Structure 1
Amino acid sequence: MKATGIVVEYNPFHNGHLHHLNQSRIKTNSDIIIAVMSGNFLQRGEPALVDKWTRAKMAISAGVDLVIELPYAFATAQASDFAKGAIFLLDALKCEAFCFGSEEGSLEAFHHTYHLLSTKKEEYNTAISNFMKQGISYPKALNESYKVVSEDSSLPLVDLSKPNNILGYHYIEAAYRLHASIRSETIHRVVANYHDEAKPSETIASATGIRKVLFGELDLSAIQNFLPITSLDELSRWKSTFQSFGSWERFWPILRLIILRHSKERLATFAEVTEGMENAIWNAAVKKDTFQTFMEQIKSKRFTWTRIQRMLTHIYNDFTWEQLKSFDLPTYIRPLAMSKNGQAYLQSIKKDLPLPLVSRVAAYKDNDMLALDVKTANLYYLGLQSTYAQKMIGSDYRITPIIH
């Protein structure tokens, strides 16, 4: 069986994801689609709308064959480490290809861009440092530096101001640096861009746009045009069971408590908290009673909303700089859900896997990375602040991979 890998968050699984999934299968002529998916906290530094088990069920119901969890240490990391962890797992799972959506749509431009930045690495890093000294954010410094080093190139290059192009570039970079045998493919992103509003006249909207509508309306009928019926059913079940969706606004009372119970010095020890942000975070938590007003106070030109949210994610989950530096690559493969075909594929490669396969957490002890996944899952359910969510604490020890 030929397998193709995709890297996903499915927050939630929508029609655009379904298009990407189907096109990935067609473009690579694959028998199996394997999705490496973030757990309960995401790369933009926020809690998932619904938990990893629910999102994994959405994926399998829509046609994914195997869903593997991307460990917290990579799922909540900056783009380069997020990509590194995901591509490493897909390569370990014997995928022949990985396929990502991009605004660019041309694979050639990604390879040209990687080789350009590799050959001009010193010039690029110097430019980044100079732009950072001007007080602008790291992503903007990267983009401005990219313009500097690419201005004389006549080759087709990727526009790295686009969010999906940025992630795509890092997937390509990770594959090169890991010397992975997996080949890359890309599909042009259709209709909705990452930050676009959801338009009622369309059937494809970004996950960001869908969540914005959902949080505004609190009515699933407002987003029904954008999701497969299987996703809508899972969201409906979640809402009736948990009574709330995951968001920082929902988690704010607990996050605020955690911030204020620490000293500013302690806050500085958490991953990604840097350059005095511990002071701004603590001072704003004293004054602001909503997450939105808290973020509006501390956001600056230097740090993007996403970067600050990742700081807060690590504070909430007690994840320190020391822990971050101790993790280089994923140390296990953890399936969350699979189809019958996915189960057969996994069985066929099981003996050749370079990493241990973790189906039962209780049977795999003394692994700090896995222990972190379990802890952050528990803290996610605590943040939902509903009666049923409290019963889900410890569920990583009770739930085995879903076979659908």
Structure 2
Amino acid sequence: MLTMLALSLLSTSASAALPEQQAAALTRQLQAIVSDPAMPLASLSVVAIRHGEIVYSQQLGSKRLPTATAPAQPVDANTMFRIASISKFVTTLGTMKLVEQGRLSLDADISDYLGYRLRNPNFPNQPITLRMLLTHTSSLRDEAGFKWAANVNLKDALLPGGRFYGKGDMWSKTEAPGKYFEYVNFNWGIIATVMECASGERFDRLMRHLIFDPMQLKAGFYLADFAPANINDVATLYRKREKDGNEVWDPNGPWVAQTDDFSNEAPAAPRGLDSYVVGTNGTIFGPQGSLRISANELAQIMLMLMNEGRYGGKQILKPQTVDSMFTRQWSLDSKNGNGDSDYFHGLYHAWGLGNQHFTDASEIRNGRASGDRLVEGGGLTGVGHLGWSWGLNALFVFDRQSKNGMVYVSSGVGANPELQPGRFSSEARFQERITDALYRGAIVPR
């Protein structure tokens, strides 16, 4: 259950809440999106914040779809989702807390924390820093994978000659650390490992001590922490696509559970966790994508950041730490096209420390919409993060000046999103419809 503090902060005041008819109209619009036969969604959980206050919160669909032996279980305010890449954003909060405490430095050579000299072997004289990892400019790549077993020391995967180094595909052969942007999951496995080295504490427990416990959030990176009391709050993620093999989409076929299907079996600890050596391999906890958290708890994090790091009478992060986190670190050089980045079909135009800056860019490229625009016609910029994987699609975004923001999380898609592109952004059309509905239905002045 949510704590009393979280419940009190989640509730909307009478003055903040949307008028009843407006809220009902928005709910109908969102339900139509969830039920659209062209792109049915397993569930949708949303929160809209206007001028620093929650004005609308709604959950639609099922956290667990019906089976031959059990009925559907509706999604509710307590439902936690494996939130995919928004995990990176939340991990960054813990990273910045360690920077604030002086236990980490953004611009120090991370070799100083890891205890071995880490270099891209193609650019051996260029140190790699935490700032580079947080801004996707480290020169690391995902081609060799980004998650390793608990008994693997990342040193053996990162350094030439290591038993898991292979062909060295985890390193860019053409781009030196420090400038070129390429979105990389492996960065966050290194970040989690550095956090462990600096603190002497296992990453999942460290995040609980730094962020989750002070905010009284039930969120976590280690599923066994939720079992058995709260495991039923974790949504199963679905697609109408095979889980293994050819992974063929079948919009007319059954929903297929992709991950977090705990209807028959509780989650197990990572193999070898009992002998894991702290500071050797933070990838095992999924800092890049395996956080379980509810939309409503993400909204609490958003309110904390809107309030300059203060939450429930506690200073979770100092105002200057929040400012540092959201200061722009990288921008796409439009003069060079995508010459200074791999910006993923036009989606990435600017980045802070562990967060995307949504710049309201929109254009047509090769006959298809491209850009980071959030709402049709433009008008909404902000900072935050996207998440998509295993059928989950999510957005966390807010404007620091207006204190307007939104969170949405969907736990499954019933068709291939690539075949339903957006009209004004690099996102799929159903994602555009959700953000546009929340913006016009709950956030813009009325």
The normalised TM-score by structure 2 is: 0.27
Higher helix share: 1
Normalised by the size of structure 1, how large is the TM-score? 0.29
Higher relative strand content: 2
